[in-house]
Structure 1
Amino acid sequence: MKKDKKDINVPRNVPANQVISLEISMAVKRYSQPKLFIPRKNGKPSVAPGNRWYVSFYWRTDANGPLDRKFSFTKKINRLKTAKERRIAGNHLVAILTRALERNWIPDKEERKRVKPGKRDGSLILGEALDYAYKIKVKAGKSPTTLKGYEFHKNRFLEWAKNNGYYGVKADRFSIDHFYEFLDWLRFEYVNEQTGQEVSGSSVNNHRRSISSLFTTMKNERLIPVNFIKDIPDVDSDPVNNKAFTHEELKLLKAEMLRSDPYLIPFFSFILYPLLRPRENCRLRVKDLNTENWLIQVQTKTEVLSVRRIITKIKPIIEEMNLEQYPGEYYLFTNKDQPAPWNANLQSRYDHFSRRFLEIKNKLGFGREYGLYSGRHTALMDLYDSLISQGKGEMEALLALMPYSTHKSIGGVKAYIRRHRKVIPADHSDIYTLDF
């Protein structure tokens, strides 16, 4: 529909036939478009020594001034052997830098001075802020296992941030929408180059929890105003790791251990009967076993010390270990196949036994869903089934399991059990009044 002349907005007191001049002001970009420089020899791209490939762009030191500074980046392009490889890598770097600049990345390090401890002016970029938060976690004396998880998840997140132009943005400008981009990448795009495996829902949730904890520290240090990650719900997950063994599978496992690695039998028994976690096994020292009162004192992941009863089923195994021959400071389980000193950190000790167990399960054809931790899951499922067979209801059985599993809430035990089995209710014919 054609606009009527009276609907057109023209300046007052100006003749209708006079040319009207309008001035449109647009914001000036602070950077030029990144470009790949390709050195040439005889008109062809050259990878000869000294012929350096790089991506560059110009930058305005003054936001309203001229493009007076040039920045160049190589990011290991010149390590590639062929011109084709360098061109692909260079174009990828152009795309990354373009995206970063569009998202307000400031390449000038002098303009984003590092914040000294105690300074809270919000000038840290995302990568620096997360590293700073991690250092505070280290200072706080978090356990090596917890810190390793933080570091692994932080590094994967920051690698993604670098590739997507978020690493250099101000920490307080990184938003919940940006973080959802990371979660979507983890869930739908990431594939492990070595194993070809996608990330499980449980792993996605573990990433979220670790990074949320670091963001909470950033908030407490006044580097960001709020930790929005803590309000993001867990993604649905169906854990496949640490599947419980059946009774028949346990018999096969023990038979193979007897043939190939008998020392794993006492190690695995401490997971089955006192319900210790594999890492708790690796922390045990000879002095932690009281064979007079038949108690075990163990450092857990949630408590400084926890005391467990040494039940009748495991007493013969402990008696065969002849613990009275060894100093109390010796580790109970070691790479010497007997109590001994072991100058290695907890993770290394745990990895040692994990590798030995891996050889056993591979011989039997058990998949990646089985691990050392499967012993604890197997034990709890067996106890649960026994309680149910005695006529206890689901809630009654779960409450009875709490002292053995050391969970702090009924919800924790319930989640543990339901990973392996959906509970089928008992016959409820006797409570019907219907007769159809």
Structure 2
Amino acid sequence: MAKPVYKNVRIIRASSGDWRVVYEYEFPDKPGNYKRFYVRDGINYVHDSDEKEKAAQELKKDIEVALKNGFNPFLASTKMETSLRTEENRIISSHPSAWTMQEAIDNFLAYCENINLKKTTLKKYKSQTKIFIEWYNNLNINKLASEIDEGTMQSFLDYGVKFNKWSPRTYNNYIDDLSVLFARCEKLEKRKNKEIKYLYDPYFLEKKRTHAERNRYYTPAVASLIKNAVKDDIELFRYIKWIFYSCMRPKEIHLLQIHHIDLDSRQIKVAGSIGKTGDRFVPICDELHELIAEMKLDQYPLDYFVFGRHKKTSDKVVGDDYFRNKFRPYKIKLKLDENYTLYSWKHTRVISLISAGFDDNQVMTLTGHRDRAGFEAYKRELVVDNSSMKGKTIDF
């Protein structure tokens, strides 16, 4: 039996987060000498540790099968000119079996369900792909899944920033998660069409720098100054209190209607079409319940907006910048910089709850985070520390 020309297919799990599958392959002209090859193939775009492990194991399995079937990395082309890639892929994609974008998404989600992907991760993928395919269809983009390139993806990302007001972190999450989609779809489609090649290369997309200071939380002293300044502006004061008590995003409150509020179940439904994490339910605490009673929201038609035009609950929604513009003069008067925003009240609420000893799982029901890893990253951005080391320790 001939000695295999490859060996040691294994996963390297670096503490830095740079995971890869590595193997050695014998030099064609140097028997007994091996070159080491590293393959990442998008697994580092998966941040949940369990899902990342599944992706790494799947990649390892794919590499083992390819090597067993005669794959030779010395004969594989690692880079093509974009024009050559495009033209070659158009020829391949013209094959009747090439997937449309909708077919690719359907197959990807079916794959995720088949491998028992965590429900929260699957829900996130469904929400993100829904937003992507709606944008794709609205623009009548006539491209197969394998023809989508980084230019198309950049247009989608720019759209998200402009019209959905994505934060840098959300923008970067879409790069990561849709990169997982295309990397997996190429593998899945290759099972039926081994000649298919996908154009999309996430490495040509630049991530945005995230600035936690963009929405700086209010210390008790600063918060007190603002509350005293705006308390006579009833509309703005109620709006700020709503952000604080619900931890809803300004956009979510801006489009909130009476029918989203369920006083019997003490919860507010944030529809996936206006939220960024899909459908979720926000608990109504006692303080928010009192605010709802104060505003007499149970007396209005179900299709009315909670914060409508003419400084009251009405059937007409206010402009996107309405409350931001109302808040700006107070910031100027108090000499607060641009890092203090209306959204900062959400962060202030989170820090207040954590500092008061509320459990992270309870706080996550307010923030809308789907997994602990995402919430921990959010806390790190806020520089939240609720450790016992804040109290008395040991005398010198």
TM-score scaled to structure 1, two decimals?
A: 0.46
Q: Please identify the structure whose Cα radius of gyration is greater.
A: 1
Q: Is the helix fraction higher in 1 or 2?
A: 2
TM-score scaled to structure 2, two decimals?
A: 0.50
